[in-house]
Structure 1
């Protein structure tokens, strides 16, 4: 495969991962993760400890999907780096999500979140699979505090 073909395949696998999350397709999310029996996968969700192994990682996605009524990802700043059978994708996840509805509403309140993510892929006989996902919240600057120093919004 050429580098441009590999890059396109990695981008397609990365997009499929976020689309599977949006549609709540746990089976597809599971299928996109590396499962070679020898290489442990890892995942860090914003504010969570490192999760290691298919059991822990996939349980986390099942938990997130069960407790998220609506989620949509708008990916920006996407960059793909290739090194042999490994690919690193960095991007900004502009997330719009909603929790359970209250008082008979169709959907709970929507919340926006900005997260930077690194997704590491390995090429297998079944295509590019996620080896590691690490996501961290972006702290946005707020107005200057009383000392004249810019503050951050840590909520």
Structure 2
């Protein structure tokens, strides 16, 4: 974790905890805990913002209901998911915080016949999470995740020699 000013502040520590709680709720498939982490109509500081989310390959989802429905759908269709976060950077500016990170994701599809777990798939995604300070703590305002296109040996051989 890092912050623009160098030493971590109390706010950046709280944002880091909220960010970690977001990913842990996803790993557990806990929609109730995940919902509590998103800005809601009753949250102080949420009057002038609308939650939004972009999952890799999805269009922009706007509004708390649409965002939470997307997570319910993902959780219902994901047997296993684990996030290993790297390159986490946190910047706090007044009531808003920005977290950027790399999501190293390991996920499993539904189990195949005769198996406890379906095939595991690894994926690398970069994410930006925007948080808003409320009376109830730091809440997610926006999540935007984009896949990282890794270079393959084929890509390297297509380049002309130096």
Q: Does residue 1:11 correspond to 2:16, yes or no?
A: yes
User: Are the structure 2 counterparts of residues 104 and 147 from structure 1 closer, same or farther at C-alpha, using a change threshold of 3 Å?
Assistant: closer
SS of 2:151's equivalent in the other structure is strand
Separation of aligned partners in 2, 1:145 and 1:78: 28
SS of 1:104's equivalent in the other structure is coil
Q: Does residue 1:65 correspond to 2:75, yes or no?
A: yes
Kindly state the Cα deviation for residue 55 of structure 1 after the two structures are TM-superposed: 1.0
User: Are the structure 2 counterparts of residues 102 and 85 from structure 1 closer, same or farther at C-alpha, using a change threshold of 3 Å?
Assistant: same
Q: Does residue 1:74 correspond to 2:89, yes or no?
A: no
Separation of aligned partners in 2, 1:139 and 1:13: 28
Task: Quote the residue 1:138 is aligned against.
Answer: 148
Q: 1:107 aligns with which of 96, 117, 124?
A: 117
Over the aligned positions, Cα root-mean-square deviation in angstroms equals 1.8
SS of 2:158's equivalent in the other structure is coil
Q: 2:96 aligns with which of 74, 86, 90?
A: 86
SS of 1:18's equivalent in the other structure is helix
Gaps of 5+ in 2: 1-7
Runs ≥4 in structure 1, deviation > 6 angstroms?
A: none
SS of 1:46's equivalent in the other structure is coil
Report which structure shows greater RCO (CA 8 Å, sep ≥6): 2
Q: Deviations over 1:37-89 (max 9, x none)?
A: 63210000000000000111000000000000000000000000110010000
Gaps of 5+ in 1: 151-155
